[in-house]
Amino acid sequence: MKKSMTILLALALALGTMTACGKQTDSEAVDVDLPAFYTELEEKYQWDENYMADIEGELLENYYPGISDIPVTQFVAKAPMMSFVVNELVLMQCETEKDAEAAAAILQTRVDSQAEGGAWYPESMEAWGKAQVIRHGTYVAMIASASYQQEMADAFNALFA
């Protein structure tokens, strides 16, 4: 009886250990408030309320064709409207990982088209060439910044560390 009980307990312990090792996606592990993250960037880089504007409506569809068809739970798209300095951000939480994959593809198309001549000026195209599309589970970011590219990318990635 003791031997059977010992084996049964050992099996239960092994089973419990294996279920604890289940894969956890980034989106399940972390709940990120994207508007709050943007506000932190705005404060850190001292962008006043008139510098970065929402990208919405027809402009949103022109910049990122198809993005408005993707179901999201959070969405922030900002760019300076009166500046030659590259500084464009899209932060989104999609409903599914498949949606996030589609969003990342759309955002990467924007990065590639700007880097390959759409940005017109050599300095702007160079900055767009360093832009990043980053995905963590259902979260996607497109960060294009001439001045703070790696800093902002690192800050976004740190939200999921």
Q: What total of structural domains would you count in the chain?
A: 1
144: in domain = yes
Task: Let me know if residue 139 belongs to a domain.
Answer: yes
- Is 145 a member of any domain? yes
What is the spatial distance between Cα 155 and Cα 44, in angstroms, rounded to a whole number? 11
Tokens 């990318």: give the residue.
153
Closest CA to 55 of 34, 35, 26, 75: 75
pLDDT tens for the chain, 161 residues long, are 444 433 333 434 343 433 334 344 444 568 999 999 999 999 999 998 889 999 999 999 999 999 999 999 999 999 998 888 999 999 999 999 999 999 999 999 999 999 999 999 999 999 999 999 999 999 999 999 999 999 999 999 999 99
Quick check: is 43 in a domain? yes
In a domain, 1, yes or no: no
Domain coverage including residue 138? 26-158
* DSSP assignment letter at 20: H
C-alpha to C-alpha distance for 35 and 32, rounded to whole angstroms: 9
Residue 109 lies in a domain: yes
- Inside any domain, residue 21: no
Residue 49 lies in a domain: yes
